[in-house]
Structure formats: C-alpha cells, structure tokens
Amino acid sequence: MKQKGILGIDIGGSGIKGAPIDIKTGKLLDERHRIPTPDPSSPEKVANALKDLVNHFKWKGLIGCGFPTVVQNGIVRTAANIDKSWIDTNARKLFSEVTKLPVWVLNDADAAGLAEVKLGAGAGFKGAIVVLTIGTGIGSSLFLKGRLFPNTEFGHLEFKGMDAEVYTSDAARKKENLNWEMWGKRLNEYLSFVEFLCWPELIIIGGGASKKLDLFKDQLNLKAKVVPARFLNDAGIIGAAMAAKVNLKKL
C-alpha cells in the first residue's frame, strides 16, 4: 500500500517530533510522535533517534527535516543549541544513509516559515514577512513575495550587548519570572530592532509564544502587523515536508 504524504520532522534541543503531512493542506495524516533529543546530541545519536522516529511510522517515502542550525546544501554550519561536533557535518547525507531514504534538511525556522507563508498566517501576502519562532530560543525566517531568504539568524543579533534570544526568548521570560506585560515590552524592543533592520510588513509569531499572543499584544507598538502562526508548534514539521517535496524533485 502506497503511503500518503511526506514525513515531516522537526529536530529541537529537547525533542524530535514528526508526522506524515498532506503538503497541499498542511494537515497531519497521523498523530504526531515525539521522542527526546539524545544527550549529548551528537550526529550519531541524533541520526539514530531520527531513525527510530521513521521506524515508528514504518515510513518508506520522502522525508523533510528541520534542524536548529544554519544549513547550507545539507551541511550544518552552526551549533548554538546542539552538540558542537555537528559543525560541517553533512546532515542530509547522514540522515539519508541511516534511514536509507531520501531526506531534505533545512533550518527549522525556515521550515516553519514556509508552512506559514504558503498555507498559514502569511498565505497570499506578497510583501516582506518575518516569521519568528519564540521558545527556548528565537528562530527566524525572512520572505519577500513568498520567496525565502534562507538562514537568517535574527535570534542571534547582538542586542543590548548579548544575543537577542538571551534577552527576549520565552526561556528568558521564565528564567527571570517576568509577567506577560513586562516580557511584552521586551519583545516590542526587539521587534522594533528587527523592523529597523529589514522593514517587514507582516511579522508572524510562532513557537510556544504563538498561543499566548493575546497576553502581550497590547505591549506591541510596531508599523508591521503582528499575528500568531496558524500552525503553532506544528509549523516546523509541515514546512519541512513541503521543502522535501520541492527540493528532492530537483536532485
């Protein structure tokens, strides 16, 4: 029996989650499955964990994988939230060899952005869009007329003498025990800086913060319209599957 959809996987610092995706609608075709990210998160251990996820679905088709790093042609270039041994590893080749299936790998926030811009909160919008996934850290993606400029790292912009995500992430809110009003003011400072750099007309808030926008939206004072992600925390696996369909056809 032929499998439906494409398997989307999102590798994060604490968990690896995935599900088969209908890339025309963004619908999950099976219940999402999550396994803990191994510690240490070395290439071998993460690859084996990804294989376990693939085996869970008895998957035999295309796979798209979002990864929390800069990824250029399948090669990992940074390692802010994973083991440093990943740097210069060809993740696409490694995952393909371990699963014995065709795998496409891209930055996790770029994957989430693709889902939101093509099918979600940014669908049909032709202007400049910034998508920010706000959780443990801050991931970012940038689009113009629906086209992705890959591997933006707006969460690692220097802001107030530190990485922006150290000051502004949801993890920072929890660590410093900030209420939503206080944190919203911080977020507004950061979003104003992003707006100054690239002047998006639409900012989509994804990640864990996307479910809480009503609690801090009154603190936001920007030229850009700010909206929550439609797909919330599923955006990464949906966009990864979409990217696999487009890019693996070219190989």
Q: Tell me: do 97 and 150 sit in the same domain.
A: no
**Residues 66, 110, 129, CA angle at the centre, nearest 5°?**
160
Let me know whether 136 and 159 are in one domain: yes
pLDDT of residue 98: 97
Domain identity same for 183 and 212: yes
β-bridge pairing 15-22 and 6-11: antiparallel
Q: Is the pLDDT of residue 166 over 60?
A: yes
Claim to verify: residue 97 and residue 168 sit in the same structural domain: no
Kindly state whether residues 173 and 103 are assigned to the same domain.
no
Whether residue 224 lies inside any domain: the answer is yes
As a whole number, mean pLDDT of residues 85-101 equals 97
Does 119 fall in a domain?
A: no
Q: Which residue has the tokens 């049909």?
A: 124
**Residue 15 falls inside a structural domain:** yes
Look at the pTM and tell me if it is higher than 0.85.
Answer: yes
Q: Are residues 77 and 128 in the same domain?
A: no
Would you place residue 14 in the very low, low, confident or very high pLDDT band (cuts 50, 70, 90)?
confident
User: DSSP string spanning 158-191?
Assistant: EETTEEHHHHHSHHHHHHTT--HHHHHHHHHHHH
250 pLDDT exceeds 70?
no
Cα–Cα distance, 136 to 40 (Å, whole number): 18
97 and 135 both lie in a single domain: no
- In this predicted structure, the answer to whether residue 68 has a pLDDT above a threshold of 80 is yes
Q: What is the pLDDT of residue 251?
A: 60
Whether residues 87 and 147 fall in one domain: no
Residues 128 and 225 in one domain: yes
Q: Is residue 115 part of a domain?
A: no
pLDDT score for 214: 94
Residue 184 is part of a domain; what is its CATH number? Answer: 3.30.420.40
155 and 62 share a domain? no
130 shares a domain with 98: no
130 within some domain: yes
Residue positions counted in the chain: 251
Question: Domain count of the chain?
Answer: 2
pLDDT at 202: 98
Domain contains 85? yes
- In one-letter notation, the amino acid at residue 98 is V
| 49 and 91 both lie in a single domain | yes
- Average pLDDT of 33-51? 95
User: Is residue 1 predicted with pLDDT exceeding 70?
Assistant: no
- Give the structural domain span for 136: 124-229
Q: CA-to-CA distance for 105 and 71, rounded, in angstroms?
A: 7
The DSSP output letter for 79 is -
Supply the pLDDT for residue 127: 93
Q: Which segment of 11-20, 24-33, 95-104, 187-196 scores lowest on mean pLDDT?
A: 11-20
Query: What pLDDT, on a 0 to 100 scale, did the predictor assign at position 82?
Result: 86
Question: Who has greater pLDDT, 192 or 249?
Answer: 192
Which among 138, 141, 134 is positioned nearest to 211, based on CA atoms? Answer: 134
Query: What is the structure's pLDDT at 155?
Result: 95
Residue 249 structure tokens: 């056809």
Nearest to 47 by CA among 77, 80, 20, 82: 82
pLDDT score of 209: 87
Q: Is residue 191 part of a domain?
A: yes
* Bridge partners for 7 per DSSP: 20, 63
In-domain check, residue 118: no
